[in-house]
Amino acid sequence: YSQIKEDVKKRAVALDEAISQSAQFHDKIDQILESLERVVERLRQPPSISAEVEKIKEQVSENKNVAVDMEKLQPLYETLRQRGEEMIARSQGTDKDISAKAVQDKLDQMVFIWENIHTLVEEREAKLLDVMELAEKFWCDHMSLVVTIKDTQDFIRDLEDPGIDPSVVKQQQEAAEVIREEIDGLQEELDMVINLGSELIAACGEPDKPIVKKRFSFTSLTSF
């Protein structure tokens, strides 16, 4: 009788411990699921990508912060996976035990969201880096072209009025031909910058599109 009583007592303790572990597991996994769902919701509706290099760098940094936060959650994530799998292993199986099925469903949900977050972070970073590379080239080429156009305009304004001496006129004609060739080259550069700008407009968010479009206004000032 004493042995039976002791066995019943041990059984009761084991059941209490199992119930406590199960309650702790569900509390913890519900908390991490709530946190992960908030993260994935933000990643599914991220801020629009800027057209300005420095702001894109800030967005890259913000995206990396998500990865850092995920690293901090990694130990808890791994612990919950392990505990959940152990609880299922001690059961009669997910097809026979409703509690085990509930644990498996929670684990599957957690793993799915976890992997989805990592995918979204990687996709966001790749997109940001592509747009940043495009923005760097556009703004660099744009600035270089503006300077070249201004220098050419200044050079033309400084040209002397047409001369009377045939030799002077010939020199001026030769200079004019050189300028025309330079202008033709500028047109090619201008077309390239406009193409880059069009790509950047397509890639960046709506709030930044006018910033890039505004830079095209200088093209109306390039008649020589």
Residue type, 133: E
In this structure, are 117 and 7 located in the same domain? yes
In this structure, are 26 and 113 located in the same domain? yes
Q: Give the pLDDT confidence of 40-91 residue by residue, as tens digits.
A: 999 999 999 999 999 999 999 999 999 999 999 999 999 999 988 888 888 7
Q: Which domain holds residue 117?
A: 2-130
Into how many domains does the chain fold? Answer: 2
User: Which of the 8 DSSP states describes residue 44?
Assistant: H
Residue 180: is it exposed, middle or buried by C-beta count within 10 angstroms (0-12/13-18/19+)? exposed
In this structure, are 71 and 160 located in the same domain? no
Of 75, 101, 130, the residue at which a domain comes to its end is 130
**Could you tell me the pTM of the whole model?**
0.78
* Inter-CA distances, 181 with 176, 187, 193, 223, Å: 9, 10, 19, 14
Residue 30 pLDDT exceeds 80: yes
With beta carbons less than 8 A apart as the criterion, state whether 131 and 49 touch. Answer: yes
Q: Give the pLDDT confidence of 100-145 residue by residue, as tens digits.
A: 888 899 999 999 999 999 999 999 999 999 999 999 999 999 998 8
Of 80, 97, 130, the residue at which a domain comes to its end is 130
Quick one: residue 93, left, alpha or beta (phi over 0 = left, psi -120 to 50 = alpha)? left
Residue 204: CATH number of its domain: 1.20.58
What's the pLDDT at 222? 46
In this structure, are 112 and 25 located in the same domain? yes
In this structure, are 211 and 165 located in the same domain? yes
Report how far residue 125's alpha carbon sits from residue 122's, in angstroms, rounded to the nearest whole number. Answer: 5
Of 130, 147, 181, the residue at which a domain comes to its end is 130
